[in-house]
Amino acid sequence: MTTLPDTSDTGSAVPDPAVLPALRRRITAVLIASQILGGLANATGIALAAVLAAEVSGSQALSGLASASMVVGPALLAMPLAALMTRRGRRPGLVLAYLLGVLGAMVVVTGAVLASFPLLLFGMAVFGAGSLGNLQARYAAADLAEPQRRARAISTVVWATTIGAVLGPNIAAPAGRSVTGFGIPAAAGPFVWAAGVFLLSAVLVGVLLRPDPLLTARALDGGGAHSPAARSLRAGVTAVKESPRARLALVTVAVSHTAMVSIMSMTPVALTRHGADIELIGLVISIHIAGMYAFSPVVGWLADRLGRLAVIGLAAGLLCCAALLAGTAGGSHVRTMAGLFLLGLGWSAGLVSGSALLTDSVPGPARAAVQGLCDLTMNVAAGLGGLTAGLIVARAGYGWLNAAGAALLLPMAGLTLFTSRRHGAKEPGPATPTS
């Protein structure tokens, strides 16, 4: 068998391009398994994060800091993680992200036991690194994908999160009951379970994600000839500046994520005010997460067939409808469920189409840096959204929070229309083929 030069950190040769279909299937299978576990760990932890923050702080107005911390942490880690992946590949970066999720979960539990709100928030920030690992896995799926199937490759890995993410909120209650005998608050129990599951994810990726998809794609692309400067953060920023579609992709992912995090994070608090118990809150969040992940293959197919811009427009419409339903639900739990489902579906459309458009629109050597910049931007924006969400709900109410979320979508919709008209509705080919 003909082989390409060894570029992985595993010591094994990169296979001939003729065996790429089998390699794609194997890499995808590993990513799917890690996404199931990572989704379970992340969703189990976040299900009662706002409730736990309110209990420890004694203030509902401060409960929004829980979700803010969970996105601020990934924001701070996004670029260092991207730099690590650029140098060493996807595998070391994903393993590190999941291990940080383990560490963060244990710090959260310690903060809850000691009733230390600052320690709790620090733990939640570090815990958020696990979700960053799950987000970065979508790019690992795109590394070896055929350009015309890139959105579907991303959506398949995003979809895999459904199983664990839907199950996670529903095991929050038994996870809480399982630890109360050890002096741990029930609302912190999900983080104990999440630590164990993130550890399994790290082991799975560390052992089985070989050869590394990013390094393999770079070798197949002739990327070994590119200088380190071509893969630097500065090159990534330059690539975004030079591409209007890359800028639109960045805005789409950031705005979709911010609207989703801001509204979703405060929904458990709003439901509690209307008499919902933990089981009902878990059900609502599960339905929301099903919207986020379960239909992503359909979203990916649409993005490949109809174009990225069309699905970005769909994302804006879905998110607006979600804000309208949830914001006017009042005591109707069914209406809240419907709104949260559409909120998740709109997020999926924005994430998948935006991620695919971003990967299409920048040169291959700069992709890892650009992708890290994208996750940095989305997490900083969502962190600010989560930070203000609690204050808006405390001072004005849940309805006004949804109104603010809908207002965020106007710039995204306007930029999509402008980009489509000025640069043409036809989707461009990828900046650099990956195979």
- Note whether 329 and 336 are within 8 A (CB): yes
Whole-number Å distance between alpha carbons of 270 and 44: 19
- Note whether 33 and 92 are within 8 A (CB): no
DSSP summary character for residue 4: B
Instruction: Return the pLDDT at 406.
Output: 92
Instruction: Return the pLDDT at 226.
Output: 53
Q: For the packed helices 367-395 and 398-423, what is the interaxial angle rounded to 10 degrees?
A: 150
CB atoms under 10 Å from CB of 335, counted, come to 15
Query: What's phi and psi for 14, nearest 5 deg?
Result: -75, 135
Indicate whether this model's pTM tops 0.85.
no
Could you identify the residue written with the tokens 């959506």?
Answer: 155
Among residues 41, 46, 35, which one has the least CA distance to residue 124? 46
- Note whether 358 and 250 are within 8 A (CB): yes
CA–chain centroid gap for 326, Å, is: 22
Instruction: Return the pLDDT at 21.
Output: 86
What type of residue is 385?
A: G
Tokens of 219: 């070798």
- What are the CA-CA distances from residue 424 to residues 104, 243, 244, 250 (Å)? 45, 14, 11, 19
Tokens of 28: 């995808």
- Note whether 333 and 280 are within 8 A (CB): yes
Tokens of 185: 């608050």
Instruction: Return the pLDDT at 431.
Output: 43
Mean pLDDT by 10 residues, the chain (435 residues): 43 62 91 91 82 84 76 80 86 95 95 93 91 86 87 90 78 85 88 93 94 86 58 77 92 94 87 80 84 91 94 96 93 91 96 93 83 85 82 89 92 87 55 39
Whole-number Å distance between alpha carbons of 359 and 62: 37
Whole-number Å distance between alpha carbons of 308 and 250: 13
Instruction: Return the pLDDT at 425.
Output: 46
CA angle, 389 then 412 then 354, to 5°: 100
- Note whether 257 and 382 are within 8 A (CB): yes
CB atoms under 10 Å from CB of 324, counted, come to 15
Q: Is the dihedral of CA 416, 146, 305, 27 positive or negative?
A: negative
Cα within 13 Å of Cα(96), Cβ side: 16
H helix and E strand count, the chain: 17, 0
Q: What would the DSSP string read from start to end of 66-122? A: HHHHHHHHHHHHHHHHHHHHHHH-HHHHHHHHHHHHHHHHHHHHHHHHHT-HHHHHH
Whole-number Å distance between alpha carbons of 219 and 18: 14
- Note whether 125 and 70 are within 8 A (CB): yes
Helices (H), 189-243: 189-208, 213-220, 233-241
Among residues 2, 94, 52, 74, which one has the least CA distance to residue 268? 52
Could you identify the residue written with the tokens 């991620």?
Answer: 355
Q: Which residues make beta-bridge pairs with 104?
A: none
Whole-number Å distance between alpha carbons of 432 and 310: 23
Q: Is the dihedral of CA 259, 265, 268, 274 positive or negative?
A: negative
Helix (H) or strand (E) holding 338: helix 333-361
Cα within 13 Å of Cα(352), Cβ side: 36
